Amino acid sequence: MKPDQFPGLNRQRERLKDAEAVTQYVKKEYPRLDPRDFTDIFPAEEIERDIADANHLEHQFKDREVIADSEQISKALEGIVIDQTRRSAWLGLTTEIVRTSAHDDIRNGVDAVAEFTNEEIFERMALAIDATRAADQTIITKKIERNLRKILNEKPETRVKYFASLADDFRGSLDGIVPVVIGLDTQHCKELIDLLSELIRLQENKNRTPALQEKFLERRTAIENHPAQIVFLKQIEVQLDFYEEVFSKRTLTKDQQLLLDRVSTLKALIQEIVKDKSRNQNIRITDDYEQDSVLRNIREVTYRLRIQP
């Protein structure tokens, strides 16, 4: 069989190879939090159980090849969000982002924690981020409904067991943080993966010619100003607005009122970040990314859930 007999399959393999390169780069640059660094907070036996449980579940995913391919793309997307929030302030100039432990990723469904720092805000403001490339509305619906039940205390609240802040010296568990889903459809994921994988290759080339250096700077600027960051911020804003409206229709407990206040503060911060990117950094969403399937489905799902009796 000649390599060019199945060009679609070859492109898929190349994309998975690029996704793997991005994932490995992120693993090296931003290692997961290690539960064994928390032995002063949790018993060693409990930590070892969490590690063994996460390893077992991770191997189950790897044994299912189709899911493994899809998971590879999602992991690359998650890595890009973390990398570019750190390097290019995708989620705001004063936003820190932490890659979670395998336990919190697999058991608690949290890929990363975005922590919003503001000298006028004294409470810890954080979002639990679940990154996805699944444009299927059924999957988006399940994720948002799950998060809504957590927000309303109809199922255990969102918890990150192992957390170490980059904003201060806090270490320990984060409870009751606000969960959100972000993502891009497959085509936009591929575009981002292609861009960052090429940037990584250029960055690792220590003998760049002037032409390659120019290309490197061009690609770096492209990802720094990429419209995907506005897509993610809009997705977060839509979900926070949805939570706010759901709360407004209920008689709230004291804890729910505190969570509503947190949601409202986070929404205002996100809106200000989007304005700043447009006004001061000239970063805007393009028509193509405005039509991203994940963004569209988040809007449609939250609208449908709003009008349900």
Condensed to tens digits (0 to 9), the pLDDT of residues 51-92 reads 999 999 887 766 554 556 677 888 899 999 999 999 999 999
User: For position 276, what pLDDT does the model report?
Assistant: 94
**Phi and psi based region of residue 122 (left: phi greater than 0; alpha: psi -120 to 50; beta: remaining):** alpha
What are the distances in angstroms from CA 238 to CA 24, 217, 234, 254, 258? 32, 33, 6, 24, 20
What are the distances in angstroms from CA 24 to CA 18, 31, 103, 133, 193? 10, 10, 19, 18, 13
How confident is residue 9, by pLDDT bands cut at 50, 70 and 90? low
Tokens 């960052």 locate to 196
Residues constituting the chain: 309
| Global confidence as pTM | 0.92
User: For position 66, what pLDDT does the model report?
Assistant: 54
Picking from 83, 100, 86, 95, the residue whose alpha carbon sits closest to that of residue 38 is 100
Condensed to tens digits (0 to 9), the pLDDT of residues 144-181 reads 999 999 988 877 778 899 999 998 999 999 988 999 99
Condensed to tens digits (0 to 9), the pLDDT of residues 84-133 reads 999 999 999 999 999 999 999 999 999 999 999 876 766 789 999 999 88
The residue with greater pLDDT, 239 or 159, is 239
As a whole-number percent, the residues of the chain with pLDDT over 70 amount to 92
Rounded to whole angstroms, how far apart are CA atoms 181 and 156? 17
> Hey, where are the domains in the chain?
11-307
DSSP-H helix ranges across 205-253? 210-224, 228-248
